[in-house]
Amino acid sequence: MAETSLTISSKNYSSWSLRGWLLCRMAGIDFDEKLAPLDDPATRAELLLLSPSFLVPCLEQGPVKVLDTLAIGEYLNEIKPEAGLLPADAAARAHCRAVCGEMHSGFANLRSALPMNLKAHHGGFKIWAGAQADIDRVTAIWRDCLQRYGGPYLFGAKPTAADAMYAPVCTRFATYDVKLDPVSAAYRDLMLRWPPMLEWTAAAKSEPEEVEELDVEF
């Protein structure tokens, strides 16, 4: 058994769990997954965006316990700097932290209007103005990063914490058939084909549990 564990909730619905899991995989650490049950009221509240704080993902390594995805990313970067979770260049590193922070604290309309659901597909989904503004900002970030750092990932040739933070958005864009410009669509498709994402998605689609409030027909 690994000395490190990561507590997550549903792989189908939990975008924050996906971010934390990707960061751990990118860091190359050996960790056990612990699953927070969907029948737990706190877990369901998080998935439905009704909780004032987030309890997953939670990284535990010996006496260290780290809540919050950004904190997990920073901790992993400190203990595994060779993994390149943050860019080596100081200016690029600051930029990476900034776009991670914007994902962490923003895009509330996108989150509520297009909840993560890897088992679903809603072709021709109607995007309202509030969510569209968030979509436009996300794709502007993507295009800027891809042009500035040369791609194919947001900060260059290798995935960084920024890619982990925006990975769930890629799944939302696929689930809800969001129309994207060619550059953003290519990045979305790259991320959905990324082996860790394929692994997570396969596990999500095999989950028997459902959250009825997130499975309604839109």
Residue 214 has pLDDT above 50, yes or no: yes
Residue 215 has pLDDT above 60, yes or no: no
Instruction: For residue 197, count other CB atoms closer than 10 A to its CB.
Output: 23
- pLDDT tens digits, residue range 171-184? 999 999 999 999 99
The residue that leads in pLDDT, 1 or 18, is 18
pTM: 0.91
Decide if 147 is inside a domain: yes
Residue 199 has pLDDT above 70, yes or no: yes
Q: What is the pLDDT, as a whole number, of residue 41?
A: 63
Q: How confident is the model at residue 56 (pLDDT cuts 50, 70, 90)?
A: confident
Decide if 74 is inside a domain: yes
Residue 52 has pLDDT above 60, yes or no: no
CA distances in angstroms from 210 to 14, 113, 159, 213, listed in the order given: 12, 18, 31, 9
CB of 24 closer than 8 Å to CB of 58 = no
Q: Are residues 66 and 119 in the same domain?
A: no
Listed residues 51, 83, 115: the one ending a domain: 83
Q: How confident is the model at residue 208 (pLDDT cuts 50, 70, 90)?
A: confident
Listed residues 83, 114, 139: the one ending a domain: 83
Domain interval for residue 137 = 90-201
